[in-house]
Structure 1
Amino acid sequence: MTPLTDTDGAPLLSAVPAAGDRRRHPAPAHLRFFHGPMDCGKSTLALQVDHNQSRQGRRGLLLTQGDRSAQPQISSRVGLCREALEVAAGTDLRLLVRASWAAGDRVDYLIVDEAQFLTAAQVDQLAELVDESHVDVYAFGLTTDFRARLFPGTQRLLEVADDVQRIQVEVLCWCGLPGLLNARVVDGEMVREGETVVVADTAPTPAPDERDADVHYQVLCRRHHVLGQLGPTAAGPGQLALR
């Protein structure tokens, strides 16, 4: 059978790679963003995605910034944790990946927890890794800060991500309605002013010094966030207090 050729005699199918050869035509990568309020299980999902990817032979990097444990790791409230690279506002995420390549390590995907703390420039770096280097990126972050405003990293991810999903694990306000917004609680009072980034957990913790303020977060429905009502306090940390 004579192969098809163009007018210059070159095979028309020469650009089609052999079966299984994706080096010249790699599969498209994607930037996926999963978001929600505190306690919605985003870090648990991040670790589950990493597990699912790695068990298929793929290799990835785990990145975080300001984990609740104050350690360079991704930690979940259900007890799961894995070591991760701590990034700062000035970290070029492209250089992290290139450093792994230079060391002879393959990078097929990135898991980025606490993605709300990324700068807009860092989100654009992730998009570049997806488009130019075919690295899949899975980013996980909070939707809004304690003032009910988008974090800069969240805003940019909503603008440029290929796929945006609100995490479906429902978080409840103390009243039983779905919790949507994060309230910052300082010494038992909800506050609406202050630094955007103050790392704390959802469970109250004793201050190391009695002169220090007790700072934690509480997820509220929209109505009670507007009213500033934290609800009854009879229940233990993380539990509903209904009456």
Structure 2
Amino acid sequence: MTAADEPTIAPAHCQSAGDGRLRHGAALKFFWGPMDCGKSTLALQMDHNHGRQGRRGLVLTRNDRSMGPQVTTRIGLAHSAVEVTDDLDLIALVRKEWGDGARIDYLICDEACFYTVEQIEQLADLVDGYDVDVYAFGLASDFRSFLFPAAQRLFELADEVNRLQVEVLCWCGREGLLNARIVDGVVAREGEQVVIGDTAAADQSEVRYQVLCRRHYRSGDLGR
């Protein structure tokens, strides 16, 4: 047998990560659900759990309800985060951390539905080429009940897709499925895809959001 005939031995670790970690087969996981189902809470819990086991990650978000570079939850939890903008290259972000001597084992990507499609592709590249685990959290559909482009791409690319099991109810008691935008007390059917608001706003607010079942989303009935 010549040298050319000898089998190729795969490297024991992922050299692209630059730190000698054993390649374990990173994964891209997408956790989704309607508003109020606890996506941001789970994101922070997952970051906490991984950190306790000695892993190091980055927390990212976009259009958090606080309008700041942090992940906040309605139950009072908060964590500083990298604000994702349209021009942020997520691969370059991770490589810069490595260049500065930091280890990045995973990314927590909150509000991933608001990322660009190109950034979702970058997340997949980080998993496949750089052995970085990615945990993405976000809505599936917008106020018109259409999929966000980034969410659609996550459905298409993710190794694992999980709908959060925390039950969200419509005012009628049925399961809440759709995120309605309420403008001057009426369910909006047209407008920009992303308008920041919250579900905790008073009914008299100019723009707010409310989770409805399909029946009442389609009829526009907001209850009392």
* Deviation per residue, 1:105-136 (Å, 9 max, x gap): 10000000000001111000000000000000
Alpha-carbon distance in structure 1 between the residues aligned to 2:143 and 2:11: 52
Query: Hey, what does 1:174 align to over in structure 2?
Result: 171
Which residue in the other structure is 2:104 paired with? 107
Q: Is 1:82 matched up with 2:74?
A: no
Q: Identify, as 1 or 2, the structure richer in helix.
A: 2
In the alignment, which residue of structure 1 is the partner of 2:134? 137
1:223 and 2:215 aligned: yes
CA distance 1:17–1:138, change in 2 (3 Å): closer
Contact 1:54–1:60 (CA under 8 A) maintained in structure 2: yes
Aligned to 1:55: 52
User: Any gaps of 5 or more consecutive residues in structure 2?
Assistant: 14-18
* 1:184 maps to amino acid: R
User: In structure 2, what is the Cα distance between the partners aligned to 1:206 and 1:223?
Assistant: 20
User: What is residue 16 of structure 2 aligned with on the other side?
Assistant: none
What amino acid does structure 1 have at the position aligned with 2:55?
R
Give the whole-Å Cα distance in 2 for the aligned partners of 1:107 and 1:16: 20
Change (3 A) 1:24 1:47: closer
Preserved CA contact (<8 Å) 1:65 1:86? yes
Aligned match of 2:88: 91
CA contact (8 A) 2:185 2:203 kept: no
Instruction: Say if 1:205 and 1:214, in contact at 8 Å, map to a contact too.
Output: no
* TM-score (ref. length: structure 1): 0.84
Let me know the Cα RMSD of the aligned residues. 2.3
Cα distance in structure 2, aligned partners of 1:43 and 1:24 = 29
* Matching residue's letter, 1:78: I
Percentage of identical aligned residues:
59
Deviations 1:166-189 (A, max 9, x none): 011010000000000000011211
Kindly provide the amino acid, as one letter, of the partner of residue 167 in structure 1.
Answer: L
Amino acid across the alignment from 1:97: V
Partner of 1:201: 198
Which of 108, 125, 130 lines up with 1:128 in the alignment? 125
* Per-residue deviation, 1:225: 0.4
Residue identity in the other structure for 1:50: D
Amino acid at match of 1:34: F
> Residue 238 of structure 1 corresponds to which residue in structure 2?
none
Query: Once superposed, which parts of structure 1, at least 4 consecutive aligned residues long, lie more than 4 Å away?
Result: 14-18
1:235 corresponding residue in structure 2: none
- CA shift in 2, pair 1:79/1:23, >3 Å: same
Give, in whole Å, the separation in 1 of the partners of 2:71 and 2:166. Answer: 19
Gaps of 5+ in 1: 1-5, 208-212, 233-243
The 2-side partners of 1:96 and 1:17 are apart by: 25
3-state SS of paired residue (1:148): coil
Q: Which residue number in structure 2 is paired with residue 30 of structure 1?
A: 27
Cα distance in 1 for partners of 2:57, 2:221 equals 42
Distance 1:78 1:144 in 2: 23
CA distance in 2 between counterparts of 1:217 and 1:70 reads 16
Aligned-partner SS, 2:151: helix
Q: 1:104 to 1:82 in 2, by over 3 A?
A: same
Distance in 2 (CA, whole Å) between partners of 1:128 and 1:23 is: 19
- How far 1:25 moved relative to its partner? 5.1
- Aligned partners of 1:95, 1:16: CA distance in 2, in Å? 24
User: Which residue number in structure 2 is paired with residue 44 of structure 1?
Assistant: 41
Q: Is the 8 A contact 1:204 1:214 kept in 2?
A: no
